[in-house]
């Protein structure tokens, strides 16, 4: 099977830390005081977060450097497709291969495991010879909006911007698995990437999917993002794309696919990325990883975001068009509603083009702003009738925050 060591030896280059060989981030002209943090993140974050541009990226909000965790500012979400250079960056481990280690000429994905009938290695060129599929899908970190939790919880203190939506192109994972065949005992498919831990005691980042999700028509091994090769910090040369499910399953720099006959038991499946059993509505269950008290986080909950105006923005009195995005775990958005009286009454917003059930859906609402403070609250509803919550469904990891967002506009 393909391992990080074999990948690096084949490339003739060692793994380098994100703080070194990948190139140092470029500090923008903006200082820390002007970083556009989401309202509600912990006090003190404004003293450590800065706007920085990683190689190939526009300035993003740096929340940590080793590993690199960079959030997209709110104004980057003015379109349903997030440009590659504005897409957020999320890593768990600090050893990230450089371009030499991920040379397209030597890159391979190993496929096999005890639940497979055969073993295989696929090069990038071979991957591109499989039938190609495209899908527009939201990639959202499981901890998006964690920094808004009250009380605050440990972890990266993400605001609204640990997400993005792109047009992904690649081969169906199902077609790759057909190359080795699945035994009837197969229950999960595990994935490993080329990034790794600095220290032996740090668990490698390995995730798994139930077989039914792995062979879904929409699950891809992607090599293009918005018509271009994947950016380095978004998984080059190839990554897993799992539409509808949170980003923890979207393995970057994919080098190993292993078919399992027993549940994957690593740290990043349990105890990490778990939510209390029964707390959130879920159609897409991961039964082999469930316990009596916790279940793995899987599909995204319905959510929306106001993108055209920041909280506290100054506007002119009169008609103002407020815009934003809505999305869910793949059922599609039925409606977005807006309220200017604290949720006592609601008006229907106008929906934009439907780019697919896994994509961001644009919406707009014409607000008649009166002189003084005007507070607008937004609520999205999915095609299966799921709506956003009015209060936070608290959990220790800060997952699934889909509280209805409100912004106050100051009109004069």
What local confidence, expressed as pLDDT, does residue 207 receive? 98
What local confidence, expressed as pLDDT, does residue 34 receive? 78
What local confidence, expressed as pLDDT, does residue 99 receive? 79
Burial class of residue 168, CB neighbours in 10 A (0-12, 13-18, 19+): buried
Is it true that domain 108-141+163-296 has CATH number 3.90.420.10? yes
What local confidence, expressed as pLDDT, does residue 43 receive? 86
CB atoms within 10 A of CB 128: 16
Evaluate the CA torsion angle 54, 56, 57, 59 in order and state its sign: positive
Burial readout 69-90 (b: 16 or more C-beta within 10 A, e: otherwise): bbbbbbebbeebebebebbbbb
Q: In degrees rounded to 5, what are phi and psi of residue 174?
A: -55, -40
Low-confidence ranges of the chain (pLDDT < 50): 1-33
Hunting for tokens 């600095």 — which residue is that? 198
What local confidence, expressed as pLDDT, does residue 377 receive? 98
Q: Where in the chain is the domain with CATH 3.90.420.10?
A: 108-141+163-296
What local confidence, expressed as pLDDT, does residue 101 receive? 85
Q: Where in the chain is the domain with CATH 2.60.40.650?
A: 303-411
CB 168 within 8 A of CB 134: yes
303-411: what fold? Immunoglobulin-like (2.60.40)
- Where is 212: in which H helix or E strand? helix 211-214
pLDDT digits (tens, 9 = 90+) for 49-94: 999 999 999 999 999 999 999 999 999 999 999 999 999 999 999 9
Residues in the chain: 412
What local confidence, expressed as pLDDT, does residue 110 receive? 98
CB 156 within 8 A of CB 66: no
What local confidence, expressed as pLDDT, does residue 13 receive? 34
* Full-model pTM: 0.92
Beta partners for 225? 168, 228
What local confidence, expressed as pLDDT, does residue 100 receive? 82
What local confidence, expressed as pLDDT, does residue 4 receive? 47
pLDDT digits (tens, 9 = 90+) for 128-177: 999 999 999 999 999 999 999 999 999 999 999 999 999 999 999 999 99
What local confidence, expressed as pLDDT, does residue 45 receive? 92
């Amino acid at each position: 099977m393909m391992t990080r060591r074999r990948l690096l030896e084949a490339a003739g280059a060692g793994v380098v830390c994100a703080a070194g060989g990948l190139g140092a981030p470029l500090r923008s002209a903006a200082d820390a005081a002007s970083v556009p943090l989401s309202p509600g993140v912990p006090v003190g974050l404004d003293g450590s977060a800065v706007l920085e541009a990683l190689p190939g990226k526009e300035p993003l909000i740096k929340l940590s450097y080793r590993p690199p965790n960079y959030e997209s500012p709110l104004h980057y979400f003015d379109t349903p497709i997030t440009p590659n250079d504005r897409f957020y960056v999320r890593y768990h481990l600090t050893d990230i291969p450089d371009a030499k280690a991920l040379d397209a000429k030597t890159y391979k994905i190993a496929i096999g495991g005890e639940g497979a009938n055969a073993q295989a290695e696929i090069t990038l060129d071979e991957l591109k010879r499989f039938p190609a599929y495209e899908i527009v899908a939201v990639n959202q970190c499981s901890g998006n909006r964690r920094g808004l939790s009250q009380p605050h919880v440990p972890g990266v203190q993400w605001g609204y911007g640990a997400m993005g939506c792109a047009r992904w192109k690649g081969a169906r994972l199902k077609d790759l698995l057909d190359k080795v065949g699945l035994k009837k005992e197969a229950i999960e498919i595990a994935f490993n990437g080329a990034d790794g831990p600095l220290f032996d005691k740090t668990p490698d980042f390995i995730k798994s999917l139930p077989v039914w999700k792995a062979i879904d028509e929409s699950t891809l091994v992607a090599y293009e993002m918005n018509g271009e090769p994947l950016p380095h910090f978004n998984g080059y040369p190839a990554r897993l794309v799992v539409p509808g499910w949170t980003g923890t399953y979207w393995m970057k720099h994919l080098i190993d696919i292993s078919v399992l006959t027993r549940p994957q038991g690593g740290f990043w499946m349990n105890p990490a990325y778990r939510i209390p059993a029964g707390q959130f509505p879920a159609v897409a269950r991961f039964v082999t990883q469930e316990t009596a008290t916790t279940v793995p986080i899987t599909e995204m909950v319905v959510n929306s975001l106001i993108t055209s105006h920041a909280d506290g923005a100054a506007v002119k009195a009169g008609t103002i068009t407020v815009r934003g995005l809505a999305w869910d775990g793949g059922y599609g958005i039925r409606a977005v509603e807006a309220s200017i009286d604290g949720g006592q009454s609601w008006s229907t917003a106008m929906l934009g083009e439907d780019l697919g059930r896994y994509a961001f859906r644009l919406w707009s609402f014409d607000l008649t702003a009166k002189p003084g403070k005007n507070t607008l609250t937004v609520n999205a509803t999915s095609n299966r009738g799921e709506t956003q919550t009015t209060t936070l469904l608290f959990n220790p990891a800060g997952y699934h925050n889909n509280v209805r967002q409100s912004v106050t506009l100051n009109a004069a």
